[in-house]
């Protein structure tokens, strides 16, 4: 019979989140605790066999790490007889005086505290794991030790580590216990529950579609470089691998969005801009965090309209950073008029052409407007816009 489990890690309880306003940071900290508690409560309701917690459960440098671990233990103890496995990570490492060494461990919790790969025997069979030690270098693991137990039974490892080349955001450069996908696949374990990287990723066995290793990711995003859905994993562990189901759980989703401005000379520019804005507006929820950047060129005379339109997206979110306008060029469509006889003659010719366009002939009117736009840019030394060049 398959072992039914829940995998959740990288909760970073008590994180400082010092780059955010204090009230926003405090709400995010509460949400991280709520998401963790609700996940474990689900494990209890569903009568799962095992809960896997592969590290970075709290921040040793954050708010009251001992209290965060006590909260974790309280949630774990309430699950008994469901068994819980913890392997500390680089943000909650083991060191002399660590809460992991001073707080009483519940009877239904297996805690790894050694930096060596060890076997702990649980009611559901042996589990292999290790704890990250404070100050340890990024040394590779010794994978010589084979999986433990009867090979007809699932073999399980729980590990806080970096699968090289797979990290995202700032964590892609933060290497802890490096390994590779090929090494995981050659290790022989039925399943390896990974912690450290904050994006859900999974790798299958070479001989089956069942997962051999996976990051659940961070269940509540911690910053702008962690956009999109975040959650935990529900799985069924068999000798040949694990069947996984990702469960979105974040109370607050981080969005980093760009408003790409359409060419202003296009006859449907307004409609295209409204569609871009509406798409972002519909995506962002009232509990989410938003970072916006506006990119492209737009007439200076219509700047206030654009600022108001983009501002409506920000009003949708729970928290919005100031809009980044650094990649926006506001220009005067008639810049260069009066600078030379050639420019003035060109503009006069365009105006004559526009005046002769039959009423309702949108294509010819657009052609004259486009010609005036491009010709004026060339005559005034601005060059062709990027979308044309």
Tokens of 359: 């009423």
Rank 184-188, 225-229, 279-283, 376-380 by mean pLDDT and report only the highest: 279-283
Q: What is the mean pLDDT of residues 306-311?
A: 94
- Helices assigned H by DSSP within 164-232: 181-187
Q: What's the confidence (pLDDT) of residue 170?
A: 52
Both tokens of 67, joined, read 């209290």
Instruction: Answer for the pair 100, 131: CB distance below 8 angstroms, yes or no.
Output: yes
- Looking up residue 218, the CATH number of its domain turns out to be 3.60.21.10
List all residues 6 or more positions away from 341 whose beta carbon is below 8 Å from its beta carbon.
none
Lowest mean pLDDT of 19-28, 113-122, 366-375, name the range: 366-375
**In a shared domain, residues 282 and 235:** no
Would you say residue 192 lies in a domain?
yes
Shared domain check, 335 and 221: no
Please tell me whether residues 351 and 232 are part of one structural domain. Answer: no
DSSP state of 109: E
Same domain as 64, residue 203: yes
Same domain (yes/no): 240, 262? no
Instruction: Indicate the pLDDT class of residue 174, thresholds 50, 70 and 90.
Output: confident
Q: Show which of 187, 221, 248 is a domain's final residue.
A: 248
213 shares a domain with 108: yes
Exposed/middle/buried for residue 129 (C-beta within 10 Å: 0-12, 13-18, 19+): buried
209 touches 1 (CB < 8 A)? no
How high does pLDDT run on average in the chain?
88
pTM (two decimals): 0.83
Instruction: Give the pLDDT band (50/70/90) at residue 1.
Output: confident
Are 325 and 366 in a shared domain? yes
Total domains in the chain come to 2
Q: What are the residues whose beta carbons fall under 8 Å from the beta carbon of 298, sequence distance 6 or more? A: 261, 264, 306, 328, 329, 330, 331
Residues 189 and 266 in one domain: no
Report the C-alpha gap between 323 and 346 in whole angstroms.
Answer: 37
Rounded distance between C-alpha atoms, residue 210 and residue 242, angstroms? 5
Q: At what angle do helices 269-283 and 303-316 cross, to 10 degrees?
A: 20
pLDDT band of residue 108 (cuts 50, 70, 90) is very high
pLDDT at 299: 83
What is the structure's pLDDT at 46? 96
Q: What are the backbone angles phi and psi of residue 306, rounded to the nearest 5°? A: -65, -45
Mean pLDDT in residue range 106-117: 95
d(CA 167, CA 199): 8
Range of the domain at 53: 3-248
CA distance 184 to 192: 8
Q: Which of 209, 228, 248 is the last residue of a domain?
A: 248
**Residue 360 shares a structural domain with residue 229:** no
What gap in Å lies between CA 112 and CA 53, rounded to an integer? 11
Looking at residue 316, what is its pLDDT? Answer: 92
């Amino acid at each position: 019979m398959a072992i039914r489990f829940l995998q959740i890690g990288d909760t970073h309880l008590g994180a400082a989140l010092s780059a955010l306003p204090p009230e926003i940071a405090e709400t995010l900290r509460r949400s991280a605790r709520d998401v963790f508690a609700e996940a474990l409560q689900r494990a209890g309701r569903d009568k799962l066999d095992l809960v896997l917690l592969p590290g970075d459960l709290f921040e040793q440098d954050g708010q009251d790490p001992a209290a965060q671990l006590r909260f974790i233990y309280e949630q774990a103890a309430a699950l008994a007889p469901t068994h819980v496995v913890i392997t500390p990570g680089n943000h909650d490492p083991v060191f002399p005086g660590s809460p992991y060494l001073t707080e009483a461990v519940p009877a239904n919790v297996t805690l790894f505290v050694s930096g060596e790969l060890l076997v702990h025997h649980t009611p559901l069979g042996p589990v292999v794991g290790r704890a990250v030690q404070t100050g340890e270098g990024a040394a590779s693991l010794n994978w010589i030790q084979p999986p433990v137990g009867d090979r007809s039974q699932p073999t399980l490892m729980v590990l806080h580590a970096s699968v090289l080349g797979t990290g995202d955001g700032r964590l892609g450069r933060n290497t802890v216990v490096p390994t590779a996908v090929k090494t995981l696949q050659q290790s022989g374990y039925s399943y390896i529950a990974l912690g450290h990287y904050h994006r859900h990723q999974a790798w299958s066995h070479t001989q089956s579609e069942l997962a051999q290793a996976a990051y659940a990711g961070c269940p509540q995003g911690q910053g702008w470089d962690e956009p999109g859905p975040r959650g935990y994993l529900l799985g069924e562990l068999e000798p040949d691998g694990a069947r996984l189901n990702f469960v979105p759980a974040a109370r607050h989703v981080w969005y980093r969005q760009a408003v790409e401005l359409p060419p202003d000379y296009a006859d449907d520019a307004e409609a295209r801009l409204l569609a871009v804005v509406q798409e972002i507006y519909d995506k962002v929820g009232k509990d989410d965090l938003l970072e916006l950047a506006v990119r492209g060129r737009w007439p200076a005379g219509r700047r206030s309209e654009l600022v108001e339109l983009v501002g409506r997206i920000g009003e949708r979110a729970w928290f919005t950073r100031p809009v980044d306008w650094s990649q926006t060029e506001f220009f005067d469509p008639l810049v260069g008029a009066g600078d030379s006889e050639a420019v003035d003659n060109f503009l006069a010719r365009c105006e004559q052409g526009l005046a002769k366009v039959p009423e309702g002939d949108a294509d010819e009117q657009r052609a004259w407007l486009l010609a005036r736009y491009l010709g004026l840019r060339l005559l005034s030394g601005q060059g062709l816009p990027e979308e044309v060049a």
